Amino acid sequence: MARLGWQVDGPAGAPVLVLGSSLGTTRDMWRPQVAALAERFRVLRYDHRGHGASAVVDGRYTIADLGNDVLDLLDSADVDRVHYAGVSLGGMVGMWLASHAPERLDRMALLCTSAYLPPASAWAERASAVLGDGMPAIADVVVGRWFTPAFAAVSPDVVAAARAMLVGTPPVGYAGCCAAIEQMDQRDDLAKISAPTLVIAGEDDPAIPPEHGRAIADAVPGARFELVPGAHIASLESAATVTALLISHFDGAGG
Per-residue pLDDT reduced to its tens digit, 136-190: 999 999 999 999 999 999 999 999 999 999 999 999 999 999 999 999 999 999 9
Q: Which pairs count as long-range contacts for 207-212, CB under 8 Å and 24+ apart, including other chains?
A: 207/88, 207/112, 207/145, 207/146, 207/232, 208/88, 208/112, 208/113, 208/114, 208/117, 212/113, 212/114, 212/115, 212/117
Residues in the chain: 255
Coil, strand or helix at 226: strand
Res. 60 pLDDT band, cuts 50 70 90: very high
Q: In the sheet that 224-228 helps form, which strands lie side by side, from edge to edge?
A: 6-9, 42-46, 16-20, 82-87, 105-111, 197-202, 224-228
Average pLDDT over residues 195-221: 97
Q: Which of 20-29, 65-74, 119-128, 244-253 has the lowest mean pLDDT?
A: 244-253
Q: Is 131 within 8 Å of 171 (Cβ atoms)? A: yes
Q: Residue 255 pLDDT > 70, yes or no?
A: no
* Rounded percentage of the chain residues whose pLDDT exceeds 70: 99
Distance of alpha carbon 111 from alpha carbon 217, whole angstroms = 11
Q: Does domain 6-250 have CATH number 3.40.50.1820?
A: yes
Q: What is the 3-state secondary structure (H, E, C) of 137-190?
A: HHHHHHHHHHCCHHHHHHCHHHHHHHHHHHHCCCHHHHHHHHHHHHHCCCHHHH
| Average pLDDT score over residue span 117-136 | 98
Q: Is pLDDT of 236 > 60?
A: yes
- Domain chopping of the chain, boundaries: 6-250
Tell me what pLDDT residue 254 has.
Answer: 54
pTM of the model: 0.97
Please report the pLDDT score of residue 1 as a whole number. 80
